[in-house]
Amino acid sequence: MTIRLELRADCLAGTWANVAERRPASSDVTLERGDIAEGLRAAEAVGDDRIQESAGQQVTPHNWTHGSVDQRQAWFTLGLETGDVSLCNDTFDMAIPATMILPA
């Protein structure tokens, strides 16, 4: 359940970025050059596989709490590209692409 919540948060962050990208520069909420790349780097930094590798541990998905780098970046990108908040519920519905299937 924790992984699903984390991936949903990544997707929602992407939908927020989608809206922010479309706002006029005079708006009080705008994205600057590099903000999307920074969001993807943040998702990479807290991917459980990356954390385990950095700690010199074997990658063991059954111990994860946040999801893999690929999962986190894929959900952020889904939200960013579509701007559709309803798609973020798929982390709970499991109607997700095979490449994003959660570990058992």
- Upper half-sphere CA count for residue 61 (Cβ side, 13 Å): 10
**Percent residues over pLDDT 90 in the chain:** 11
Which distant-in-sequence residues (6+ apart) come within 8 Å of 9 by Cβ?
none
Helix intervals (H) in the chain: 2-22, 35-45, 48-54, 69-82, 90-93
Q: Residue 104's pLDDT is what?
A: 41
57-80: buried (b, 16+ CB within 10 Å) or exposed (e) per residue?
eeeeeeebebbbbebbbbbbbbbb
- Please determine, for residue 90, whether its predicted confidence score (pLDDT) is greater than 80: no
More confident residue, 69 or 82: 82
Which pLDDT band holds residue 14 (cuts at 50, 70, 90)? very high
Q: What is the pTM of this model?
A: 0.76
